[in-house]
Amino acid sequence: MSPDPLVEIRDLNFAYDNRAILTGINMTIPRGKVVAIMGLSGCGKTTTLRLIGGQLRPTSGVVRVGGQVVHELDESGLYQLRRRMGMLFQFGALFTDMSVYDNVAFQMREHTDLPEELIHDLVLMKLHAVGLRGAHHLMPAELSGGMARRVALARAISLDPMLMMYDEPFAGLDPISLSIVGELIRKLNDALGISSIVVTHDVQESLKIVDYVYFVSAGKIVAEGTAEDIKHSREPFVHQFVWGEIDGPVNFHYPAQPYLQELHEQPAKPNGWWS
């Protein structure tokens, strides 16, 4: 991995009260690379993004972005750091009462003193980058799911961030839209010279575009490596996840008593049953 990483996570632990979510996490996100965090729902992937963005504070350990320890920043410092991050939320999260143009212009108007003429040119540039310059006048309700995701991506890169974070960017997309969004993630990362973190369940599409993968299970990293390393991993959980196998470390059957034993037991009486 790069000797000059943009994001460093060291010995990270996070818990809600006494319920551990992340345990002993170590990750490095090099500058200019696309890194995926994969795992089952509830394993701590999105929580990791929130810790990087400063929405949550670690129970222990360090999250460093651009050389700054995120949880040590004051409100002003955290605000300045977040301006250099872009976030693509699951399903896009566009402002429904604003046009495509105004969605992309929103951050420029809120966080800069740029004149409207320059904002106009920048908005069209960002929309052109995602192939939707001709849709600038449409409202979110008039967009397909794939188009909405691409507008959200144009909005996320509107302030030229140094770090892009994607939370399930492929969820709910048809195969064509999914491929388009995947290609945009890779091309924009390389063209803008940024770093990207992709939290996703979509193994096959992600492995086409990422440089490195971390697999998380039960709040711990159980495997990491390049796309080829992951495809050929002998770790049982990773193999089951990558190839979509029904049985493995993640069982098809929820834990239960032996079937025959349960069949011969007397059924429990429902609440309110009168004998």
pLDDT of residue 165: 93
Q: For the chain, what is the mean pLDDT? A: 86
Model confidence pLDDT, tens digit, residues 2-17: 557 899 999 999 998 8
Q: How confident is the model at residue 64 (pLDDT cuts 50, 70, 90)?
A: very high
Kindly state the average pLDDT of the residues 164-185. 87
pLDDT of residue 12: 93
Model confidence pLDDT, tens digit, residues 218-256: 888 988 988 888 888 777 777 777 777 676 666 666 677
Distances (CA, A) of 210 to 37, 87, 203, 206, 255: 10, 17, 10, 6, 35
Domains with residue ranges and CATH for the chain: 5-84+161-264 (3.40.50.300), 98-160 (no CATH)
pTM, to two decimals: 0.82
| Closest-CA residue to 196 (of 153, 238, 231) | 153
| H or E segment to which residue 65 belongs | strand 60-65
Higher model confidence: residue 171 or residue 252?
A: 171
pLDDT of residue 136: 93
